[in-house]
Amino acid sequence: MRMRDIDVRQAMRSTLQHRKENESALILDEFDLCGEVRVDIAVLNGHLCGYELKSASDNLKRLPKQVRYYSAVLDYCNLVVAENHLDEALNMIHDFWGVYIARQTSNGRTFIRKLRNPKSNKSNIDPHALVQLLWRDETIDILTHYGFDRGVRSKTRTTCWDRMVDSFSLPQLRKLVHTQLKTRTNWRCDNLSLSNPDTTPEIEGHTLTCD
């Protein structure tokens, strides 16, 4: 039996399920970044972490673009990769990325083994990409709260995002964005259930496209 994406997803969910720090985490499938790529599994628990999954049946054609956007937005980036892609994939990611190996037993069971821990992504975050995780009304609410909304309330979301970048430092932006995502109550998707790792991965996060 050849390893499929769903096999790696379920195995990674099971791995996440057993981490105590994820008990209160927001975990989402297919989390959109700038309308360009989707994070296969995103975990928000104080930091924004992402897991890109590459099963034995996948290819690495999109990985360079995924690495670029993951690295521009996420605090911790991780690659979960089948052994047949491991050597090539290691040459395509940054040293601060964590790496997990997906392996398959003779009876078709997929399991995950950690190869290296991720390091904090401190120098690659792009504030213009980061603020695009916010919906326009959320951006307006934040700007209004801090008194930076003058002249942008009727403008496009791109203008509002630009005002965010001009008004706050990167550490402040990271905190504001993470807090907003964690407290968002109207996600147009269902959170992954950590207690049910066999849930089929058909859940899509809200799609944010760039203006």
**Per-residue pLDDT tens digits for 119-138:** 999 899 999 999 999 999 99
8 HSE (CA, 13 A, CB side)? 25
Where do we find the tokens 């892609």? 85
pLDDT given for residue 129 in this prediction: 97
pLDDT, tens digit (0-9, with 9 covering 90-100), for 167-199: 999 999 999 999 999 888 776 543 333 333 333
**pLDDT-derived band at 148, boundaries 50, 70, 90:** very high
Q: Considering only residues 189 and 204, tell me which one the structure prediction assigns the higher pLDDT.
A: 189
Give residue 188's pLDDT.
53
What contacts 3, CB < 8 A, 6 or more positions away?
55, 56, 57, 82, 102, 104, 110
The reported pTM is 0.84
CATH number for the segment(s) 5-116: 3.40.1350.60
* Average pLDDT of the residues of the chain: 85
CB contact at 8 A, 106 and 79: no
Say which residue, 76 or 106, is predicted with more confidence: 76
Domain boundaries, the chain: 5-116, 127-183
**Is 41:16 a contact under the CB 8 Å cutoff?**
yes
Q: Which pLDDT belongs to residue 50?
A: 96
Tally of CA atoms within 13 A in the half-sphere of 206 that contains its CB: 12
Q: Identify the residue with better confidence: 207 or 182.
A: 182
Residue 192, C-beta contacts closer than 8 angstroms, at least 6 positions apart? 13, 27, 28, 29, 41, 199, 203
